[in-house]
């Protein structure tokens, strides 16, 4: 992978092409926008922060496996319907060589402000349908717990977020109050 050259003095300009080993994708700043970290060979990593000023909506889900699934919910699949469009995302471990993507599943909703359906297929074989009360939020969902109708616990991530849910990053500029 080589970074684009662009125009000197403008954002995106790269003085010389670089050799990149791997990349990792995730919402590093918890703003609903997916960012990219590129690991370069024999050089420091590059952060491509998504600063697009769009006003599109989104939802991120942090899945927590129950007693018969892995705690990190790797292997879970989420089918998500919003604005008449159905999307699917899987909880995966890893990414490319020497990297790991954010394990939260991210759904871009465009202009849609409501979610019609969320269906979670857990690694244990269980399936749950849940209702999300709002968009532009992070939710932590634990398999098999009851809180809202639909037999699934939904907690706003800001209420239950833990440091160990965020991949460790060895960068003083990113290791603040994660």
CATH number of the domain enclosing 72: 2.60.40
Other beta carbons less than 10 A from residue 119's beta carbon? 15
pLDDT at residue 94, rounded to an integer: 77
Assign 145 a pLDDT band (cuts: 50, 70, 90): confident
Express each pLDDT in 22-79 by its tens digit.
888 999 998 899 999 988 887 888 889 999 888 899 999 999 999 999 999 999 999 9
- Give the integer Cα–Cα distance in Å for 71 and 63: 8
- Give the integer Cα–Cα distance in Å for 62 and 96: 21
Give the residue numbers spanning the domain of 80.
54-165
Domain annotation covers residue 8: no
Strands 153-156 and 137-142: antiparallel
Domain annotation covers residue 17: no
CB within 8 Å of 33: residues ≥ 6 apart: 27, 50, 51, 52, 58
The structural domain count of the chain equals 1
pTM equals 0.71
Residue pointed to by tokens 């954002």: 11
Domain annotation covers residue 175: no
pLDDT at residue 13, rounded to an integer: 56
Tokens of 1: 């992978």
Nearest to 79, CA basis, from 35, 122, 30: 122
Domain annotation covers residue 108: yes
């Amino acid at each position: 992978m080589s970074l684009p050259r662009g125009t000197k003095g403008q954002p995106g300009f790269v003085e010389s092409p670089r050799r990149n080993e791997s990349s990792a994708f995730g919402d590093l700043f918890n703003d609903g926008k997916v960012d990219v970290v590129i690991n370069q060979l024999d050089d420091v990593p590059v952060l491509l922060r998504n600063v697009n000023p769009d006003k599109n909506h989104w939802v991120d889900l942090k899945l927590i496996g129950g007693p018969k699934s892995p705690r990190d919910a790797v292997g879970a699949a989420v089918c998500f319907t919003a604005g008449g469009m159905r999307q699917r995302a899987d909880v995966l471990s890893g990414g490319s060589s020497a990297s790991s993507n954010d394990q939260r599943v991210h759904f871009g909703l465009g202009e849609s402000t409501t979610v019609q359906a969320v269906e979670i297929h857990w690694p244990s074989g269980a399936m749950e349908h849940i209702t999300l009360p709002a968009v532009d939020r992070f939710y932590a969902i634990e398999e098999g717990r009851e809180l809202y109708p639909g037999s699934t616990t939904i907690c706003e991530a800001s209420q239950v977020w833990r440091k160990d849910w965020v991949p460790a990053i060895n960068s003083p500029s990113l290791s603040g109050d994660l």
